[in-house]
Structure formats: C-alpha cells, structure tokens
Structure 1
Amino acid sequence: MTLAFSWTILAFMKVIGGTQIYFHSSDPAVSPWPYQVAAGGRTHDPGSGGIVDRKYHQHTLILTLSGEGWIRVGDREVAAEEACLAWLDTSRTYAHRATPGNHWSYVWIALSGATLDNFFMQLNLRAEPVVDEMADLLPDFEGIIQQLASQHPLMDAHMNTQVAAILAKVFTKRAGTPPLNEVDPVSKVIQQLRKDLSRNWDITAMAVVAGLSQSQLFRRFQAATETSPVSWLRRERMVQAEHLLTVSSENVSAVAQRCGYADPFHFSRDFKRHCGRSPTAFRENARF
C-alpha cells in the first residue's frame, strides 16, 4: 500500500526549473464536481528566467507571495506585486515573468469548469486580470496544492470547496467592477469549443456561434489568440489528449473519439506533430 501510494505522488509531481508542479491523476470526464483542477504548484522566478506563455485548456490563477512580476494580456502589461491574484484565460494571448532584477515567488492552480468562463467575463477579468490585496487566498491555494500532492480519494471534494472559496473571495473583491456589456464573438466561440471538444466542428459552425462571417471570425480570432480557430481547436484537443493519455486507461481510439477524431490514424498523426511522439509512446513516458 505504501509503495503504491508513493509511486502515485512521484508519477504526478515534476520539478521544472524553479517550479514544483503537481498534476491531477484522475479523469475529469467521470468527476461529479463542477470544477476540475488539472495542476497546481509553486514557482520561484529569480528574474533571469524566460517568459511563460504556454497554452492550456484551463484558466490559470497566480497568487504572488513575494517580489514582483508582470502579466501581459494582449498588448497590455500589468504589474503583479506581493499578495496580488492574476487570473488568466490561457486559451488567449498572454505572457508573464518576473520583473527584471526581482525574485518573484508565487503559487498557482490551473482549473476548468462550466461556469468559469462566465465568471471571468462578468468580473471583467479579461480587461483587468490582476486583483490586489488577496493574501487571504493563500490557505486555499496551499490546500489545493496539498490535495494534489496527496492524491487522496476525496481530493476532488476538498478541492472544489477550496475553489469555491477562492471564487467567492474574488467575487466579493471585484463585485463593484462594471461587467462587460456583452460577450464578444471570440469568447462565445471559445466557450462553445471548450464545452464540446468531441464535436465535429468546422469554420461554418464556429461562425454561426459567433454571429459573424467566416472571414470576420478568422480575423477577430487571430487578433485575440494569435492563431486561427481551426489551429486553436486542434491545440486544445491535443492538450486534452495529453491529459487523458496520462490519467485514463482508455485505448488510443477511445481517447481520439473524445478529442473529436473519428479516425485514430489522423489523431495519431496530429498528436505526433504536436508532441514529437506517438500517443502510445507519450503515455508510456508520462506514466513511467
């Protein structure tokens, strides 16, 4: 029992540079809980590291512990000082790093859930991603990271309680912020794609969701994400596939179906282009 439990922790924890990362070890498709925490961790950026701009299928919340960093969303940069919360929708163009000469330490979680996109828009977090004076969130962040490290059978229940507490505190802090008058067309498309990655989407269907012509959607999507709608969808599917291949025991064909690929060969070809290895090789490396 002890050996198996220790293996689970080691299998889903990695140290990359100054970042200690804990990954969730279960399949989000079978979870009854509204929020899924894919990963969390602690980072110390000495000010000499590179810019972080990786793309994920989640919202990422960063709570600064000390020092100062900066967050770039689109063409706007915002300082993230001690005790600030930065909320990023990583499906869009963003970047962050320590301010040169500063040692920036922070904790973070990456999560998804049906209501998060609406929450993000209603509190205008896309335009104002940094919330000041949020030191009281630290126990919730640390609790989530500890749950990820433990891989306890009841971890999802505990983490959902802590995510709800974070959302409540952010909502209370930002409740007076004027919301956006409407959801922009690109956000509408992103929300629908995230909800159903397995659907056989094409640009025509996306344009209908956006209420735009195909050429208008392409231009506006490119401006918001620096990629085309089809390329964005393919990348999101590959991120989802990486997670499923790591945490589920489904065969490659089943994972392909869940990621919107009717043809396993087509899926394997796209996955190898994305990751540099086949789905089977990726799964073996991720687990062992």
Structure 2
Amino acid sequence: MPLRTSQELGWLSADVGVYAAPSVRVEYRPEFAKPMIHVAVSGRYDWAVRSRGRWQVVDRGPGSIAVALPGEFGHMRWRSTSDVPLRSLHVHLDPSAAGERPMAPAVGVRDPFLSAGVQALARALRAGGPAIYADSVAQTLAIHLAWGNRLPVPHREPRLSKQQVDRLTDYMQARLAENITVDDLAAIAGVSRFHFIRVFSASTGHTPYQYLRRLRMAAAAELLHHTTQPIVQIALACGYRSPGQFAAAFRREYGVSPTRHRGQAPDPRPRPGA
C-alpha cells in the first residue's frame, strides 16, 4: 500500500515511493517494468526470493538494500520477525540512464554510495524536491549500479524479538506439566519449524529443550522452598513423569537432590531470559 509517492512531483528518471507491507506475504510473482532499488525502512523480516530456479533467504532490517531487475526474480515471499510495521522505499530507475551496460541484480548489498543516494531521494520525496535534483541523483545511481562494485551483506544470524521470547516464555511457564513441542513454539513465534531452533538458540543462548528444562527447574526450586507439596506432585507439575526422573534432572541442574534442596536457602540464579 503506497504511503507517499513521487507521482505528482514531475520526476523523470525515478519513480519513488514509500510503501506499507503486510507482516506475511505468501509466494507471489512481482511485476515491474524498470530496475528497482528496494530499501527496508522499518521492521525486520525473512525475505525469500527465487532467482534462476534457486531460493535465497535474507534477514532484512532497516537500511537493507536489494536491487531487482524486471523478470529477474521469479517469485518472492516474506514473514515479519518483529512487531514493528513493515515499511519500504521503492526506487524505480530509468534503465537508459546507465547506457548500454546492464545493471546487476542483488538480493542484498552493502554499498555506502548507494545508501547515501537512496537516502537523498527519500529526503527529496518528503520535502517535495525539484525534478532537477531527484533526476540527477537517480541517474547517478543508475550509472553506479551498472559500473560500481557492490559487496554482499555479511551474514547475520536472525534472532527473535524480545516480545517473541517473552511470549514463548509465558507459554512455557503456563504449561510446564504439558508435553510442549517445537511445532507449538514455532507457531507462537511465527517462524517455520526448520528455522525456529536456530533463531531461538541465537536469541536465548539455549535450545528450546534446555530453556524449558531450566524453567521447569526454577519452578521446582520455588515449589520446594515455598510449599509443602510432596516431591511427586512437584515432579508432575513440572513435566516429569516420575520422582526418579525429576530427581536426576534436578541434581544435574543444582548439584543436590530435591529433598536436600528443600532445606537450603533459595537459589539466587535468575530464570532463563531474565
């Protein structure tokens, strides 16, 4: 959905616009007639594009740039990985400005010159800048894309937002006695099962199993110190089928048995994610 465009400004060498995007877009085939520079303005998302029969997935956030040519990208899709609304800047360039040398597509680029140019066009769009300025910048960008060198964006391990981790933690704590699956957690986080374990571990420093186990152990320690519930009930409440299984897990975590721990001072260690 367009939020602001250069359509009424009389620019000739570039069509520029700021657009709002849905948090999830299923696979579709983009159609555009001119080379496009796509800049992520707000939000963070996993952006997948299929070019020449191969899918490539890029973690994109504010400032991330992609260069697309008409017909080059077969299909694309995306999914937001944060709670921030997705906004993007689209810059469609006049291909004749680059002469006979074709521009090269790229899913992600790291290019200070290109970044400065699109930021200049974004400022001109907000201010309603004159065509002579916008066209000069756009022509320079087209030439640069045809002749300049671009470096691929360094790999960044995607991460869950704090809000996603908090939701997952609350979900686990409310269901410590249940059989929580990776599929359940991935659905809550809004990411695929394939990516979930990797992004969860990168975000928390623990695998989902390790994180859940530590939540269960922290809850068990609290119950041992502050209630008189039998150990078998505490074991069941924290997701363990038998006192023996619970005692073994508790000893690995705290170095003592549940019975001995019950008589000690409360453990000062914070819960995972605290």
TM over 0.5: no
Normalising by the smaller structure, the TM-score range is 0.3 to 0.5
User: TM-score with structure 1 length normalisation?
Assistant: 0.39
Query: Larger Cα Rg: Structure 1 or Structure 2?
Result: 2
